Amino acid sequence: MGNSLTSVSRMGTTEDFDLQVSRGHIPFHGTLFKYGYNPLIVNANETIWDVGGLYSYPSSALTMTATSASAGTDEDVEITVVGLDADYNEVTQTKTLNSSGVAVLDTDLLRVYRAYVSGSQSPVGNINIASDGTTYARITAGENQTLMAVYTVPAGYTLYVTQGVATHGTDTSGAYMTVRFKVRSYGGVFRTATKIDIIGGEILFPYKYPLKVTEKSDLEVQAICSKNQNNAIAATFEGILVKN
């Protein structure tokens, strides 16, 4: 018998539903896992992403440029950028930085929520994906991947969030972090879906009944420190994308 990819459920046994989705065995279903990290949050709300501060969302699709902080040193670095076009359709673009460490994306983007090094050469400097001086994603040197707890549901899909996790580095000063998982439906405002306090360690906020997030909705995780001092925090959220 030749080797073939199949599901054990076809042989009269069962297989975990999540694994079947990951394997592509469930039509019109896909997985989502978003993770972010912010090393310098003080007593002001910030998005959990590698650039710091609150994330900005474009009001229209923009021409995005990837630029390395190390300029020509990062010539020939290949990156892939994932986001949404003007109609909220997901677009994946792969570009190679030129002799100045720059690459202009071919498709204008309304959202950018993931970028990573897709070639064999790691960049020396941070690579910002930006437009008109505003950064919408950053591939941090040494990570080769964006670390941003930010996402927008593509047109024609519904996201069912199954859980989130927040992790706060050990703190001996009594500082705690207030973490908010926020959702903005299309045409609406950001609403807090989950709010937790954490002092050191990790906290899981599962949704026994998955949280339904409709198409074109923005999601992000924010945090604020109770004291005027730098604290690092990481956050993830995950779920299943279902085609409408």
Where along the chain do its domains lie?
Answer: 14-54+150-243, 65-139
pLDDT, residue 229, reads 83
* 154: phi then psi, degrees, rounded to nearest 5: -65, 160
Q: How many CB atoms lie within 10 A of CB 180?
A: 20
pLDDT, residue 6, reads 57
Q: How many CB atoms lie within 10 A of CB 3?
A: 5
pLDDT, residue 13, reads 62
pLDDT, residue 144, reads 97
Ranges under pLDDT 70 in the chain: 1-13, 170-172
Contact 37, 223 (CB under 8 A): no
pLDDT, residue 1, reads 38
pLDDT, residue 15, reads 81
pLDDT, residue 38, reads 95
- Residue reference for tokens 């020509």: 72
Report the relative pairing of strands 157-168 and 201-213 from DSSP bridges. antiparallel
> Has this prediction a pTM greater than 0.95?
no
pLDDT, residue 7, reads 55
Annotation: CATH topology of 14-54+150-243? Jelly Rolls (2.60.120)
Q: What does 169-207 look like in DSSP terms, one character per residue?
A: ---SS---EEEEEEEE-TTS-EEEEEEEEESSEEEEEEE
pLDDT, residue 117, reads 98
